[in-house]
Amino acid sequence: MEKLNELLDLIIKPDSESALRCKERLDNIAKPIDGLGEFECVLPKLAGIYGDDNFNIDKKAIVVMCADNGVTVEGVSLTGHKTTTAIAEHIVGGTAVVSIMARHTGVSIYTVDIGMYDTINAPGLIHAKISNGTNNIAKGPAMTKAQLLSAIHIGMKMVRKLKDGGYRIIATGEMGIGNTTTSSAVASVLLGISPRETTGRGTGLSPDAFAHKIEVIKKAIDINKPDRSNTIDVVMKIGGFDIAGLIGMFLGGAVYKIPIVIDGVISATAALAASMISKNCVDYMLASHLGKEPANKYIFEKLGLNPVIRANMSLGEGAGAVMLLPMLDLAVEVYRQNTTFEKVNMKRYERSEM
């Protein structure tokens, strides 16, 4: 924990002057004021992170954290750990949804076994297994504190490695059956609201199975008694290795000064937890989309982030995060290439006072 705290002490606020210059430039290019909508908030945020208002996002990556969750034995999901294995193989094999999206948009994909039950030897898979899945949270803590901290450091090391490799922006993804249960449990405790408000149907549970899932989450919280004021305690007791690895990525984004894109509810839960470990790391987060899982809206409200995409997605894998990247490419190119009002001999639009 001491080493983690030493790294977090390195976090500083983004460069406000670069962000301001970016916003002024956006206001001076030949388009309506705030015509790019939410991107007119995202682009100055990127300028601040990079400390440069003439930035690019030419080299992009996504990291998919794969892990299994012991709570699946409680019948909270339609399938078991074999599905985690199969989808992970598809991701590294290039046939999963996120793989196709990444390939088509020029995004490098890194798939990490941070805690899958099975061990696969697929070319390209990054082996960083903490354990063969977590323990069943309905019976006791998901993991030990040492395991949690190891997973967080794995996420941070991935960010440092990619930053050193020249990547400019990193998206987050995950794969792990049962992780909507663990994320709903963690979000419920950290937000201080009922599991009924944070829990969704995952991949399509029946009404009875959905009610059972909520009861299992309530049981896990009651048995483990996670301390809401101690985020490490909460994730250790009712979280998952994928969540822990993603927490490390969000913290790493702030430490190493690179934007990290939030995907769906598992990724968003990790972002929430990271923000409670170090509040300044939110300055380095981008919200891609608002998915179906009900916890999403509460988490983004708490983080003060506004997801760009409203497509009602519930896919996972990092698909929503990857989908944001080509949209960002377009916005950045408009910002870098569009002419100014002066050059086209037009009167500049002015922002009206509200």
Residue recorded with tokens 């009167």: 347
Q: What percent of the chain has pLDDT over 70?
A: 95
The answer to whether residue 39 sits within a structural domain is no
What share of the chain has pLDDT > 90, as a percent? 85
Domain-located, residue 139 = yes
Residue 180, in any domain of the structure? yes
Mean pLDDT of the chain: 94
Q: Are 282 and 259 in contact (CB under 8 A)?
A: no
Tokens encoding 101: 């999206």
Looking at the domain assignment, is residue 11 inside a domain? no
Which segments within the chain are labelled E, that is strand? 60-67, 107-115, 126-127, 169-175, 260-262, 285-287
Q: What distance in Å separates the CA atoms of residue 231 and residue 134, rounded to the nearest whole number? A: 18
How confident is residue 2, by pLDDT bands cut at 50, 70 and 90?
low
Rounded CA-CA distance 293/266 in Å is 10
pLDDT greater than 80 at residue 353: no
Task: Provide the greatest CA pair distance for the chain.
Answer: 70
Structure-token match 């909520």, residue found = 214
For 66, the 3-state DSSP assignment is: strand
Mean pLDDT of all residues in 133-161: 98
> What is the rounded CA–CA span in Å between residue 322 and residue 285?
14
- Whose tokens are 């490390």? That residue is 248
Please tell me the distance from the alpha carbon of residue 251 to that of residue 245, in angstroms, as a whole number.
Answer: 10
CB distance 192 to 281 below 8 Å: no
pTM (2 decimals)? Answer: 0.96
Give me the pLDDT at residue 314, please: 87
Residue 7 inside a domain? The answer is no
Q: What is the mean pLDDT of residues 95-115?
A: 98
Using one digit for the tens of pLDDT, what is the confidence trace for 274-309? Answer: 999 999 999 999 999 999 999 999 999 999 999 999
Which three-class secondary structure state does DSSP give residue 343?
coil
- For the record, the structure tokens of 155 come out as 């996420």
Q: To which residue do tokens 């923000």 refer?
A: 275
Count of CB atoms situated within 10 Å of the CB of 35 = 13
Backbone phi, then psi, for 313, in 5-degree steps? -80, 155
Residue 78, sorted as left (phi over 0), alpha (psi -120 to 50) or beta, turns out to be alpha
Instruction: List residues with catalytic annotation.
Output: 317
The CA angle 68-71-76, to the nearest 5 degrees, is 105
Is 18 inside any structural domain?
Answer: no
Q: What is the DSSP string of 124-136?
A: T-EE--SSSS---
Q: Are 120 and 128 in contact (CB under 8 A)?
A: no
CB of 109 closer than 8 Å to CB of 94? no
**Residue 31 confidence (pLDDT):** 82
With 0-12 / 13-18 / 19 or more C-beta atoms within 10 angstroms meaning exposed / middle / buried, residue 271 is buried
Give the strand order in the sheet containing 126-127: 126-127, 107-115, 60-67, 169-175, 260-262, 285-287
Structural domain count of the chain: 1
- The answer to whether residue 20 is domain-embedded is no
CATH number at residue 64: 3.40.50.10210
From CA 283, how far away is CA 77, in angstroms rounded? 34
Side-chain-facing half-sphere of 209: CA atoms under 13 Å = 15
Q: Which domain holds residue 119?
A: 60-330
Give the list of residues 6+ apart from residue 16 with CB closer than 8 angstroms, or none: 48
- Specify the DSSP class assigned to residue 228: T
Looking at residue 178, its pLDDT comes to: 95
> Please, what is the Cα angle at 9 between 7 and 11, to 5 degrees?
90
CA torsion through residues 280, 284, 285, 286, sign: positive
Using one digit for the tens of pLDDT, what is the confidence trace for 108-122? Answer: 999 999 999 999 999
Residue 34 lies in a domain: no
